[in-house]
Structure 1
Amino acid sequence: MKKTIKILSLIAIISYYACDDILEEDITDDSIQITYPLEGTVINGNNVQFSWQHLDGADDYRVQVLNDNQIIIVDSLVSENQLTYPIDEGNYQWRVKGENFAYETEYTFPVNFSVDISEDLTNQNVILSTPSDNLYTNNTNITFTWNPLVNADSYTFEVLKNNNGQTTIYQESEIANTNSNIDSALFDIDAEYIWKVKAVNNGSETPYSERSVYIDRVEPNTPVLNTPIDNSTNSSLVTFNWSNGTDTGNIQSSITNTIEIATDINFNSILLSDDTQNNTYQYNFSNIGNYYWRVRAYDSAGNESDNSITRILTIE
């Protein structure tokens, strides 16, 4: 009976992927027509908009940009038939290909273009460096950095708190370097903080470039174990289940759970330690005997809960 189930499961899996291949259009021999930049284009300003004609059957497009040393500086998967990206002054090549679940085209032939940074900053952008966009963190000692922009005399830096409306909590102008720190006490509550930088020279300035950082200092709830119940007797394949409760903080970082199974109540001999973003986990025990299990949670901001209570189960 078990052998029959395994065979049927294998057939189902093969059928699933086979159906996907059938449903997806074969675009292997198709080609994409680029529209901008074309061969030899000189772009005034560092904000480059790559575009190409839509290809029927392509769900996504992969865009690559290479510098003079043939090093890939952009490798992006997008669903639209365009991509806007800030690039420093220099000579480059770019190419694009179409993809779907089952097939992909060849890359277009590499197209050469160059970026010429003029003194007019109006059509240029400051390229932000760290922290990354949409970062979740419990650390308020943050150094904000950005790339230097040719022909910029100085930079203006701002931080806004977004909590039931946006409030400017810090502003500094005429910054000569490409980094800034602010007093960590300004991050007074857990919230989204938007940091913005623009470049300025004698006759022009860039628009603001901005990113968000989410401050989350609330520990996740301690997981509550559901099943199997304490002192239960089970067969070798056990499904563990627990709940995390509702996050009460202003910012809800994604939760990951660590489940541990040990052969002793003090967890000195851990049989399993694994992470999951689900609230259920299956484990197939190889030997009979008594085992202990617990769960703890941590979030993407770096906060960690206490361990749950410990439960014992018996495998017969």
Structure 2
Amino acid sequence: MINLKNTIPTAAALFLFSLLGCSEFIEPNIEKREVVLLAPANASESNQYSQTFWWEEVEDALQYRLQVVAPNFVNTSRLILDTVIKTNKFNYTLDPGNYEWRIRAENGSSQSPYKTASFVIQPSTIEEQQIQLQSPANRLVTNQSSTVFSWLKLFGADKYRIQIDTANFEDGNVLFLDKTTPNLEYTVAFTKDKVYRWRVKAENATMESKWSVIQTITFDKTPPGEVFPASPTDQQSVARNPTLSWEATADAKKYQLYIFKSDGTSIYSPTFPVTVTGLSYVFTEGKSGESVTWQVRAIDEAGNAGTFSKIRGFSIQ
């Protein structure tokens, strides 16, 4: 005999289940959360033009809105920054002057109140300063030969020296690039696959700043090799929802899979081509009695696409 007492949920159990289910979809409200500012502290003074804005992370926040103005938010003469950040730190280079900054936490449905602090940047010589690099991002891997290098302006500088090296700046006579420019960017054309290191410093008629941090960029124009399919074998008869697999290819970061109709040229459906990071794909769209062809190619971190595999076919039972 079935025990109905154990099979019918009580009203309390149903209510608890509904609460647990809803909690997975309701985003926490952060309107009463407070952002704690760490640096620059309120009323602080510094002779460093490059400042790190830093605050404590707020639980359930997805991002933070940072604003910086001069001289303050009551009598604003200049908006310096208004940006959204995923982390709890942001670096920026400022001119000497009086500033206020504020930060709030945000998620998809709510936001905390702004927390505000003031600070002063005192004038100093550029010898005490360091250039802040902007782009390309550190450790970028690219197949674009023409790259724009950029950095933030430094108060008191007349020009900027950019150096690029394939070693570690050990010999200043054999650098890949050593140029000065009055601009805040410089375009460089790469021709050889290498890892390049770059740095920038500011100069005027009498002084030089410290070198920036050294960042790297990798130029890679060489595509990965041909992909070799593993299964199903060519013209094999398979059950529905077969797993297509292939061997790993050196330097591949992902694979692009094409599936065609029996003519070998018509894309099977709008799903394809599909990009996967693994070495297999389950094909669920096929119908019994159909013949299908497929091929796959590797794509490396720089975005270079390799040679397609040979086209294989299979039939669905």
Picking from 69, 80, 102, the partner of 1:94 is 102
Work out whether 1:77 is the aligned partner of 2:80.
no
**Offset at residue 274 of structure 1 (A):** 0.8
**Offset at residue 270 of structure 1 (A):** 3.6
Would the alpha carbon gap of residues 66 and 141 (structure 1) be closer, same or farther in structure 2, given more than 3 Å must change?
Answer: same
Name the % identity. 18
**Offset at residue 182 of structure 1 (A):** 4.8
Structure showing greater Rg: 2
Would the alpha carbon gap of residues 183 and 293 (structure 1) be closer, same or farther in structure 2, given more than 3 Å must change?
Answer: closer
| Structure 2 counterpart SS, 1:77 | coil
**Offset at residue 155 of structure 1 (A):** 1.4
TM alignment of 1:57-72, pairs within 5 A:
62-68=63-69, 69=79, 72=82
Deviating more after overlay: 111-120 vs 303-312: 111-120
TM alignment of 1:210-249, pairs within 5 A:
210-247=214-251
How many residue pairs are counted as aligned between the two chains?
277
Contact between 1:290 and 1:313, CA under 8 Å: does it hold in 2? yes
Aligned to 1:250: none
**Offset at residue 286 of structure 1 (A):** 4.7
| Structure 1 counterpart SS, 2:175 | strand
Contact between 1:42 and 1:113, CA under 8 Å: does it hold in 2? no
Contact between 1:125 and 1:208, CA under 8 Å: does it hold in 2? yes
Would the alpha carbon gap of residues 54 and 290 (structure 1) be closer, same or farther in structure 2, given more than 3 Å must change?
Answer: closer
Would the alpha carbon gap of residues 53 and 145 (structure 1) be closer, same or farther in structure 2, given more than 3 Å must change?
Answer: closer
Q: What is the TM-score with the length of structure 2 in the denominator?
A: 0.71
Work out whether 1:128 is the aligned partner of 2:128.
no
Cα distance between partner residues in 1 of 2:54 and 2:147? 36
Deviating more after overlay: 168-177 vs 270-279: 168-177
Would the alpha carbon gap of residues 123 and 282 (structure 1) be closer, same or farther in structure 2, given more than 3 Å must change?
Answer: farther
Deviating more after overlay: 90-99 vs 200-209: 90-99
Deviations 1:153-196 (A, max 9, x none): 22121112149x966523535532333345645x4xx2210111
Q: What is the TM-score with the length of structure 1 in the denominator?
A: 0.71
Picking from 164, 176, 181, the partner of 1:170 is 176
Cα distance between partner residues in 2 of 1:303 and 1:313? 29
Would the alpha carbon gap of residues 70 and 87 (structure 1) be closer, same or farther in structure 2, given more than 3 Å must change?
Answer: closer
Quote the RMSD (CA, aligned, Å): 3.7
Gaps of 5+ in 2: 1-16, 70-78
Aligned to 1:3: none
Picking from 25, 38, 47, the partner of 2:41 is 38
Deviations 1:117-136 (A, max 9, x none): 73422453323333332221
Contact between 2:126 and 2:208, CA under 8 Å: does it hold in 1? yes
Picking from 195, 217, 224, the partner of 1:192 is 195
**Offset at residue 294 of structure 1 (A):** 0.8
Cα distance between partner residues in 2 of 1:194 and 1:51? 28
